[in-house]
Amino acid sequence: MKRIILLFLILIAPIFLGATELYVDGENGADNTTSSRGESKDNAWATIQYALDTANPVTYPLPININVRPSTFAYTITSKIDWDLHEGTNNSNRITLKGDYTGQIWGEAEPVWIRGNQAIDGIQLGNPLVYVTIYGISFSSFNYCIRGLRENDYCNYENNFGEYFVSAFFYGVYTAGSIFKNNVAIADPNRTSHVFNFYRGDDVIGPNEFYNNTIYDSSRFIRFSNGAGAPLRSSFIAYNNIAYVIADHDLYDTIVYFFSDPIGSSTIIDTDNNLFITTDTLASFAYGNGNISLASWQGMGYDVNSSTHLSAHFNNEGGANKDDYKIGALSNAINATHTSPPTVTEDGWKRPRPVGSIDKGAYQYLEGGIQ
Give me the residue spans of the domains in the chain.
1-94+111-115, 121-371
Other CB atoms within a 10 A radius of the CB of residue 93 amount to: 15
Task: Tell me the Ramachandran region of residue 200: left when phi exceeds 0, alpha when psi lies from -120 to 50, beta otherwise.
Answer: left
CA quadruple 247, 252, 254, 257: dihedral sign: negative
217 and 244 Cβ atoms separated by less than 8 Å: yes
Q: If you count them, how many residues does the chain have? A: 371
> Which pLDDT belongs to residue 206?
87
> Which pLDDT belongs to residue 162?
94
213 and 222 Cβ atoms separated by less than 8 Å: no
223 and 166 Cβ atoms separated by less than 8 Å: no
> Which pLDDT belongs to residue 251?
45
- Which backbone phi and psi does 295 adopt, to 5 degrees? -60, -40
> Which pLDDT belongs to residue 193?
77
CA 352 to chain centroid:
19
| Of 102, 105, 154, 91, the residue nearest 125 (C-alpha) | 154
Q: Report H helices in the chain.
A: 2-12, 48-54, 294-299
202 and 237 Cβ atoms separated by less than 8 Å: no
> Which pLDDT belongs to residue 337?
64
> Which pLDDT belongs to residue 45?
97
The series of mean pLDDT values per 10 residues for the chain, 371 residues long, is 40 62 96 92 96 96 97 89 96 97 93 94 95 97 94 95 91 92 87 82 85 87 74 84 71 65 78 84 63 83 88 84 87 78 85 82 74 49
> Which pLDDT belongs to residue 160?
96
> Which pLDDT belongs to residue 8?
36
| Of 180, 266, 268, the residue nearest 222 (C-alpha) | 180
> Which pLDDT belongs to residue 3?
45
